[in-house]
Amino acid sequence: MFKVGFNLTRNASLSIKRMMSSQEPDVIFETLNNAGVVVLNRPKALNSLNTSMVSKLLPQLQEWEKNKTLVIIKGAGDKAFCAGGDVKVAIDKVEGPKFFYTEYNVNYLIGKYKIPYVAIINGITMGGGMGLSVHGRYRVATEKTMIAMPETKIGLFPDVGGSYFLPRLQVNIGLYLGLTGDRLKGKDVVKAGIATHFVSSKRLYELEQLLSRCQNENEVNSLLNKFNEPAEEISLAANIKHINYCFAASTIEEIIERLEKVNNDWSQKTLQTLSQMCPGSLKITLRALQRGAQLDLGQCLQMEYRVACRSTENHDFPEGVRALLIDKDNNPKWNPKTLAEVTDDYVESFFKKLPADKELKFFDSKL
């Protein structure tokens, strides 16, 4: 009896150890020849970012900047590079600002990274996933790539440097994407200026192996150009002139007026989309993108941090997450309810400076 009991206890202990060892880390760091390789490793959650992941990314990227030739970042599985941040954490008044603080520091580091940074944006890439890719020197899209900045639908705004990169896209397509949350796929992502190269997903393994052997920037650039497949005309081509005209307007109300004037299938669909977004988020987003066009990346992230912190304290962001992601009743009760009720003072209150000790500061990459 004793032996049986002992064996059962021992087997249970071994089983627990195996279970513990099988719990893979949420982000994996590997060295492959000359490259540091980051694998976002939450495939069941579409590799969405949490505080644990961004807290690990920052020091590792800082270290690799000093001793690697390049960095490659990708997502586990083939469904997503990174579907965004863990908004259930982000809406917490205490944890949210901590998450944003570290995440924005990672975005800033990527934006000024001294060695080639290659993001393989294979699959869904939204929100925080854009922040981990678009600021880097090279962004490789595939036929499985789908990008979006859908924050206005959940009472937030396109952050992670969205106020920097969106207004810099051609023909006002960035303002269109930021306000409507519309999705771009495959080669459209390159045509829009979000990705730098397009490579078939079946060639990614070969590309990664060859990239890891590159010894300098010129070799990285040359190799990516060899793999690149030229993009055709963007699928939005027929409405580019309308996007440029409508989203050049200085207010949301005027954008809506211009869309009503265009009055085609695309504009009617766009009007319907905007009517489903959080009214406060639309006005805050437009203000952020207008200001971001005149700021550098660091200044944009500092501005966004103020807005993000205020969003965690406000009604709309937690309510949007509740309605769309937690209760999933798809019936958010926005406050203010309508665009007309969103005053200029309300919008400006999100942009006011935080107390000096609460402002976003960037960690020195040499630390």
CA–CA separation, 284 and 203 (whole Å): 41
Domain ranges of the chain: 22-358
Q: According to the model, what pLDDT value does residue 364 have?
A: 67
Instruction: State which fold the 22-358 domain adopts.
Output: 2-enoyl-CoA Hydratase; Chain A, domain 1 (3.90.226)
What is the pLDDT, as a whole number, of residue 13?
45
pLDDT averaged per 10 residues in sequence order, the chain, 367 residues: 39 44 85 98 97 97 97 97 92 94 98 98 98 98 98 98 98 98 97 97 98 98 97 92 98 98 98 98 98 98 98 97 95 98 98 97 67
Residues classed as catalytic: 85, 128, 151, 159
Q: How far apart are CA 285 and CA 155, in angstroms?
A: 10
Q: What is the pLDDT of residue 21?
A: 44
Q: 245, exposed or middle or buried, with CB in 10 Å at 0-12, 13-18, 19+?
A: middle
Q: What is the pLDDT, as a whole number, of residue 121? A: 98
Quick one: pLDDT at residue 1?
Answer: 34
Q: By 3-state DSSP, what share of the chain in percent is helix, strand and coil, each rounded to 5?
A: 55, 10, 35
Helix (H) / strand (E) element for 197: namely strand 197-198
Check: CB of residue 190 under 8 Å from CB of residue 230. no
